[in-house]
Amino acid sequence: MTEEHHIRRFLIRIFLLCCLASCSAVLLCQVRARAQDSDTGTVRLNLQQMIERAAAVSPEKGIAESDLSIAQSSLEEVNAAFYPRLESTATVGPVQGADEPIIANNRIHDPSPGLGLSSIGIFGRLDLTVTQALYTFGKLSNRKEAARMGVAAKKLDIDKTADDIALRVSLLYYGLILARSGIGAAKDAENFFNDAQHRIKRLLQIKSPNVSESDLHMIDAFRAGVIRSQVRAQKGIRVATFALRSMLNIPPGVHFEVVPEPLGVKEKELEGPETLVRKAFSNRPEFKQLQAALTASKYRTAAAVSDLYPSFFVALDGSLAEASGRDHFDNPYIPDRFNHADVGVVAGARWEFDFGIKKARIGEARAEYRKLLYSKKMAEMNIPIQVTRAYDELVEWKKSAEIYQDAAIASRKWVVSAFADFDMGIGTAGNMLRAIEKYTENQGNYVEALYHYNVAVADLKYATGMIR
């Protein structure tokens, strides 16, 4: 191997070591940065992350999951009824000693000793019965299907709970973000008032005839509404933040930051109400839950009817007994309760009769089925109304947000031109303050319309089952 080749291999090794060292340094910096972030105790979440976390820690979802576990246990209980059932009874106790009887001249003579302490022994007995259902006229199969649909309904109940949580988190999120926007708009207007106040004071100092002391009082009068808006927005931020911290289970000592997202009006074309209604029927968990509950009720009714008929079974019956102080008497005609070993297979039918209890249960099951059927019809009537209302709200507030946004832009231009006219001496303080007031009003209306627009978007997603 030449010297040049050795040098090349040495340089390659140096290069690889440098790359490895660089990667290690980068990884170490990332680990340290993450450690610093965790040390600061800051939780930063966007809307989707808040929805996921709220659903994970919500006691409402925990209740729904517990109901699902109960339904699954009921299904397991019904499934177990298809398998053989074993019943065993073990007994032990005292027994009088007995000798094998003597038969002479067609008479049975008992040679056993009389009752006394020395003649008392102990016996043990074990009885076993294994029963397997053969045909039950649908008692088991109907209850199994009812339990299976009950599990499906409880799973959908979890989805419904998660949708409710997602809607509440979304409303709080939009309220918080847009309250911040309201504070920004109020501060912007306050800066305009401060600028106007500074200009008027400067002209008063040089005794300009275009201004008077009343102009300063007019500024204070106009500024009151802006200050009030700031206070209300700050209150909204505190309430929304507290509610979000509670829903997300964030400890008091941990700093919480909400990551904002663009909340402007979406230019995407909306689907028509008919399409959205079809999606609602396909996606809404409570509607699918109602369908599952209706099917489960149908099977429960059929099971109640099945209880009117007998159940056929096969059974294995065995018994083993042993007693001290007693002779074994092996005679198939005369059984011995204390000394025997018996086993046998039997087939049978069990049929229970009552004076109207089963019929009453059938009537109750059928009434429950009718109730769910009417509930489904009500949902079929109300869901289109809910979707259409949310759709119309979205369209209305989208148009309002666009109008007030244009109005806010126009009134801001008015403020700029009013300041310019005032500086040139051709404008009045009243015109300048009216422009600022109109800008504040339009900007506030735009923020409010933007809030209602985003709430309408969330409501429409919820109504169509697409909130998550």
Q: Which domain holds residue 396?
A: 137-309+355-463
pLDDT digits (tens, 9 = 90+) for 96-155: 877 777 777 777 666 667 666 667 889 899 999 999 999 999 999 999 999 999 999 999
- Spatial distance between the Cα atoms of 164 and 461, rounded to a whole number of angstroms: 11
Measured in whole angstroms, how far is the alpha carbon of residue 236 from the centre of its chain? Answer: 26
Q: Shortest CA distance to 65 belongs to which of 134, 155, 127, 192?
A: 155
Within-domain flag for 204 = yes
**Helices marked H in 249-284:** 273-283
For residue 36, pLDDT beyond 80? no
Let me know if residue 324 belongs to a domain: no
Residue 132: count other Cβ atoms within 10 Å of its Cβ. 13
CB 266 within 8 A of CB 456: no
Q: Are residues 60 and 165 in contact, defined by beta-carbon separation less than 8 angstroms?
A: yes
* 46 part of a folded domain: no
Count of domains forming the chain: 1
pLDDT of residue 19: 41
Task: Examine residue 441 and state whether it is found in any structural domain, yes or no.
Answer: yes
Q: To the nearest whole number, what is the mean pLDDT of the chain?
A: 85
Q: For residue 437, what is the domain's CATH number?
A: 1.20.1600.10
Q: Where are the beta strands (DSSP E) in 184-339?
A: 255-258, 311-323
Q: What is the DSSP letter of 300?
A: H
Is 43 part of any domain?
Answer: no
What does the pLDDT average to over 159-175? 94
> What pLDDT is attached to residue 355?
87
- For 357, the enclosing helix (H) or strand (E) is helix 357-424
296: three-class secondary structure by DSSP? helix
Q: Is 410 within 8 Å of 423 (Cβ atoms)? A: no
Instruction: State pTM to two decimals.
Output: 0.77
Q: Which two tokens stand for residue 54?
A: 């709220």
> Would 349 be classed as within a structural domain?
no
pLDDT classification of 25: cutoffs 50, 70, 90 = very low
Residue ranges of E strands in 98-144: 102-104, 107-109, 120-135
Q: What is the pLDDT of residues 341-371, one digit of tens each?
A: 889 999 999 999 888 899 999 999 999 999 9
Is residue 169 domain-resident? yes
Q: How far is CA 34 from CA 26, 28, 38, 409, 444, in A?
A: 12, 10, 6, 42, 40
What's the pLDDT tens digit per position in 428-443? 888 888 898 899 889 9
Within a domain: 457: yes
The confidence score (pLDDT) of residue 116 equals 61
pLDDT in tens, 210-226: 788 888 888 888 888 88
Q: Directed axis angle between helix 47-57 and helix 139-205, to 10°?
A: 130
